């Protein structure tokens, strides 16, 4: 029987990490190890990362356009659409800010020995020197000006992802407001581009075990086992952020804005949470989420279907939190100092990334790679998190689906729906 992809990815990461640590202990400084890294593992890892980068522009553009155009029912469900969008932006912002605060408070990426930190800092400086477009704007006015591209194609070619995202959001709004046959055909073309990109992403992810092994071997061969300690701290910070957002932010929103007991809410959505955890896919969990929303939470069907369908691609709170923690963790690990302005850009990108991230396993990886490149953090560091990504993906997808259902409760309550008195069982 063919081994599952996540098992192969975990095995590849383990082999790469163990092999790198052994090579570091036995061959450190030898010409043989340098040759293996320079001519084998490093090129393989770089090719894998470039494959991810290759798909960033079509993924972000098509997903954001479809995410916004998916609110095409705004004319029929005007209030519901606007409330869903507002809730998504606010709660996603809270998720990213929570993750960023935890990283700044707990410093999971710090603690490497000085010699290894110096080597990483030098590598980061070389990487940042090639990313002139990633520099943070000096002022808030400059940031606002740079949001608007004078040439969307040039912005894409130069890797100015904020400008690309702005154009994609405008395109989605334009398609929402345009009801001609030609605009509907254009949306179908963009949907086809999204489907094509997702197929290519799945092809790239299929070879991820090899890429993960190569990237982890390269890093651990240079740094030894101490980097694995930092990785464990990173996993702990991500899980802490997810738990706090799940049981504090969602509980408060459901109670204060939705008028429902948090205990009753989480009991009612337990089937959807288990499905999300096992599949790591918001899209695959959508049928179960719709079922529990109507049968357990007793939400109005026209509200739950709209909110949950849009939310399966556009309301990715767990993904946004994960992306923010990952970027700041790797910045700390590589000794890249991110100013408040740079961190604000990371927050904004993660919020938009939560909208533009595919609701499938590992769908956030191209977005994380893109953000790392923009803020001058070596993209090679993504190899560290790929080894544990499957488990974190299961956890953050659970948060994503819970967030969709919480949004449905809040929006339904705002439309004068009242939770029934009987227990959901």
Domains of the chain listed by start with CATH number: 5-414 (1.10.3860)
Structure confidence at residue 100 (pLDDT): 92
The per-residue pLDDT for range 369-418, each reduced to its tens digit, is 778 877 888 877 777 787 677 788 889 989 999 999 999 999 999 888 88
**Cβ count near 54 (within 10 Å):** 14
* Residue 425, pLDDT score: 41
Of the candidates 261, 200, 230, which has an alpha carbon nearest to the alpha carbon of residue 56?
200
Between CA 91 and CA 94 the distance in angstroms is 5
* Per-range mean pLDDT, top range of 144-158, 273-287, 351-365: 144-158
Q: Cα–Cα distances in Å, from 215 out to 39, 47, 330? A: 13, 10, 14
**335 touches 230 (CB < 8 A):** no
**277: which residues sit within 8 A by CB, 6+ positions away?**
394, 395, 397, 398
Phi, psi of 118 (to 5 degrees): -65, -40
Distance between CA atoms of residues 316 and 305, nearest Å: 17
**Contacts of residue 26, Cβ cutoff 8 Å, sequence gap at least 6:** none
Is the pTM of the predicted complex or chain greater than 0.95? no
Residue 227 has pLDDT above 80, yes or no: no
Where is pLDDT greater, at 275 or 123?
A: 275
pLDDT in the model for residue 241: 96
**Residue of 399 and 367 predicted with greater confidence:** 399
> What does the mean pLDDT of the chain come to?
80
Least reliable range by pLDDT among 63-77, 80-94, 387-401: 63-77
Kindly state the tokens that stand for 74.
């705004």
In the chain, % of residues over pLDDT 70: 83
pLDDT digits (tens, 9 = 90+) for 6-23: 677 778 878 888 898 899
Do 382 and 372 form a contact (C-beta atoms < 8 A)? yes
Q: Tell me the CB-side half-sphere exposure of residue 21, using CA atoms within 13 A.
A: 10
Token pair recorded at residue 34: 């340098």
Q: Mean pLDDT highest for which of 25-39, 106-120, 207-221, 244-258? A: 244-258
pLDDT band for 423, please (50, 70, 90 cuts): very low
CA distances from 102 to 107, 284, 313, 321 (A): 8, 30, 26, 10
Higher-confidence position of 347 and 189: 189
Residues of the chain by 3-state class (helix, strand, coil), percent to 5: 80, 0, 20
Distance between CA atoms of residues 82 and 76, nearest Å: 11
């Amino acid at each position: 029987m063919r081994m599952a992809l996540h098992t192969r990815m975990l095995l590849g990461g383990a082999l790469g990490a163990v092999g790198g640590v052994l090579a570091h202990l036995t061959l450190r400084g030898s010409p043989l190890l340098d040759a293996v890294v320079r001519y084998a593992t490093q090129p393989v890892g770089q090719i894998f990362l470039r494959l991810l980068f290759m798909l960033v522009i079509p993924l972000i553009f098509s997903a954001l356009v479809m995410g916004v155009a998916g609110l095409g029912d705004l004319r029929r469900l005007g209030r519901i659409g606007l409330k869903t969008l507002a809730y998504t932006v606010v709660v996603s912002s809270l998720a990213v800010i929570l993750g960023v605060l935890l990283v700044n408070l707990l410093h999971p990426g710090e603690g490497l020995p000085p010699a290894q930190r110096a080597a990483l800092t030098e590598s980061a400086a070389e990487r940042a020197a090639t990313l002139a477009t990633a520099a943070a704007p000096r002022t808030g006015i400059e940031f606002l000006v740079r949001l608007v591209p004078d040439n969307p194609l040039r912005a894409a070619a130069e890797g100015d992802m904020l400008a690309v995202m702005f154009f994609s959001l405008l395109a989605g709004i334009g398609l929402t407001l345009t009801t001609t046959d030609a605009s509907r055909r254009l949306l179908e073309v963009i949907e086809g581009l999204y489907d094509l990109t997702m197929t290519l992403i799945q092809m790239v992810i299929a070879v991820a075990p090899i890429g993960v092994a190569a990237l982890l071997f390269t890093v651990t061969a240079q740094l030894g086992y101490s980097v694995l300690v930092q990785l464990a701290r990173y996993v702990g910070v991500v899980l802490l952020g997810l738990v706090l957002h799940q049981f504090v932010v969602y509980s408060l929103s459901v109670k204060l804005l939705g008028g429902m007991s948090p205990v009753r809410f989480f009991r009612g959505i337990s089937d959807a949470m288990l499905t999300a955890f096992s599949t790591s896919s918001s899209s695959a969990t959508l049928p179960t989420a719709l079922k529990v929303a109507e049968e357990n939470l007793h939400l109005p069907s026209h509200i739950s279907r709209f909110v949950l369908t849009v939310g399966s691609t556009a309301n990715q709170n767990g993904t946004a939190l994960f992306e923010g923690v990952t970027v700041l963790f790797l910045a700390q690990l590589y000794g890249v100092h991110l100013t408040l302005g740079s961190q604000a850009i990371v927050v904004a990108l993660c919020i938009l990334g939560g909208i533009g991230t595919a609701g499938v396993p590992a769908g956030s990886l191209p977005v994380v790679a893109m953000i790392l490149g923009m803020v001058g953090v070596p993209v090679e560091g993504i190899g560290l998190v790929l080894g544990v990504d499957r488990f974190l993906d299961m956890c953050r997808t659970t948060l994503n689906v819970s967030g969709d259902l919480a949004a449905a409760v809040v929006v339904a309550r705002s439309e004068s729906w009242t939770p029934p008195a009987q227990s959901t069982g």
